[in-house]
């Protein structure tokens, strides 16, 4: 069995000012990762990542996801590179094509989100590698742009997606795939296979692996399953379909391992919006769940 990295998801159902204690508690509890979100029109992923990195010393911080239509490719490269130089080896940058309804509200919806994501990710990777980039695509245009302060070491660039073409693109162009938060292990297995297909198609070789980030909605305590069942519909899925986990440490560890067995290399546990004590929940994960995962 593969043991995934275990992290905590800071979703925008929790107030921005609660991030500091969550980040420091995650580090104290021994979790591997902290994942911050950028949902419209709630919280900035980059601002949250910068603050979390500054408040901690070890934990890896991932951004899932920065919507490409909202962000200039050059500005995104500058911001990611700045954080990567300040906190080398601790940042995962994630980009996606965004929720189209939100992109429409913001006035940045494009006719071909997949084309934009391909152009954005390709140019962004080159800029972060310190290359000079000149390109005139359908959406991304750069003229001899080069970062003065590129990252001192490679920054993982993960892509997010839902549909089969987006999943294949993540495998083709990304170092990893960031999945939606309300998925079953069967869903994760199918998505990982689609991403591997995209990776194989870019010449990486048959059967090549791709990092996959999955999220597990979870709760503990006497009413844990009821709380998970109330949470899941908030993310567009029906309760009782095998999404999430409510129960004791063994129940949550088994659900984390099931996602790992389906192909997830990193799992972020998402507290429910009604979690009464998020910090204690993080301590519970470090104290009781982590030791139950294989090879720990």
Q: What is the CATH number assigned to the segment(s) 5-295?
A: 3.20.20.30
Which residues in the chain belong to E strands, given as ranges? 5-10, 33-36, 60-63, 66-67, 91-96, 133-136, 141-145, 157-160, 176-178, 211-219, 245-246, 266-271
Q: What is the pLDDT of residue 88?
A: 97
Instruction: Provide the mean pLDDT of the chain.
Output: 95
Domain range annotation of the chain: 5-295
CB 48 within 8 A of CB 19: yes
Which residues in the chain show pLDDT less than 70? 1, 201-208, 295-296
The pLDDT tens digits for 139-163 are 999 999 999 999 999 999 999 988 9
Tell me if 3 sits within 8 A of 293, measured CB to CB.
Answer: yes
Q: Give me the pLDDT at residue 205, please.
A: 46
Q: What is the pLDDT of residue 295?
A: 64
Predicted pLDDT at 206 = 43
**pLDDT in the model for residue 200:** 75
What's the pLDDT at 209?
77
| 37 Rama class: left (phi>0) / alpha (psi -120 to 50) / beta | beta
The confidence score (pLDDT) of residue 166 equals 95
Are 249 and 288 spatial neighbours (Cβ–Cβ below 8 Å)? yes
DSSP string covering 31-42, please? -SEEEE---TTT
What is the spatial distance between Cα 112 and Cα 92, in angstroms, rounded to a whole number? 25
pLDDT at res. 296: 58
C-alpha Rg value of the chain to the nearest Å: 18
The CA distance from 49 to 83, in Å, is 9
Question: Residue 201: what pLDDT?
Answer: 66
- Nearest CA to 137 out of 126, 150, 148 is that of 126
């Amino acid at each position: 069995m593969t043991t995934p990295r275990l992290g905590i998801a800071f979703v925008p159902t929790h107030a921005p000012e609660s991030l500091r204690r969550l980040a420091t508690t995650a580090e104290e509890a021994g979790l591997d990762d902290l994942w911050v979100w950028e949902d419209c029109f709630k919280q900035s992923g980059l601002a949250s990542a910068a603050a979390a990195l500054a408040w901690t010393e070890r934990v890896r911080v991932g951004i899932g996801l920065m919507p490409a239509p909202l962000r200039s490719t050059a500005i995104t490269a500058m911001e990611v590179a700045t954080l990567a130089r300040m906190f080398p080896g601790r940042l995962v940058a994630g980009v996606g094509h965004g929720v189209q309804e939100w992109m429409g509200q913001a006035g940045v919806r494009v006719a071909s989100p997949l084309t934009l994501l391909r152009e954005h990710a390709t140019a962004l990777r080159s800029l972060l590698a310190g290359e000079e980039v000149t390109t005139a695509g359908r959406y991304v245009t750069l003229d001899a742009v080069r970062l003065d302060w590129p990252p001192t070491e490679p920054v993982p660039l993960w892509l997010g997606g839902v549909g089969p073409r987006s999943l294949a693109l993540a495998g083709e162009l990304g170092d990893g795939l960031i999945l939606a938060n309300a998925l079953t292990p069967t869903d994760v297995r199918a998505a990982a296979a689609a991403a591997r297909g995209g990776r194989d198609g870019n010449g990486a070789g048959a059967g090549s692996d791709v990092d996959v980030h999955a999220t597990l909605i979870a709760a503990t305590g006497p009413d844990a399953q009821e709380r998970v069942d109330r949470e899941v519909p908030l993310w567009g899925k029906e309760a009782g379909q095998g999404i999430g986990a409510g129960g004791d440490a063994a129940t949550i560890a088994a659900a984390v391992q099931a996602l790992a067995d389906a192909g997830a290399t990193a799992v972020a546990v998402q507290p429910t919006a009604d979690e009464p004590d998020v910090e204690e929940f993080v301590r519970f994960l470090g104290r009781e769940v982590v030791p139950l995962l294989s090879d720990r």
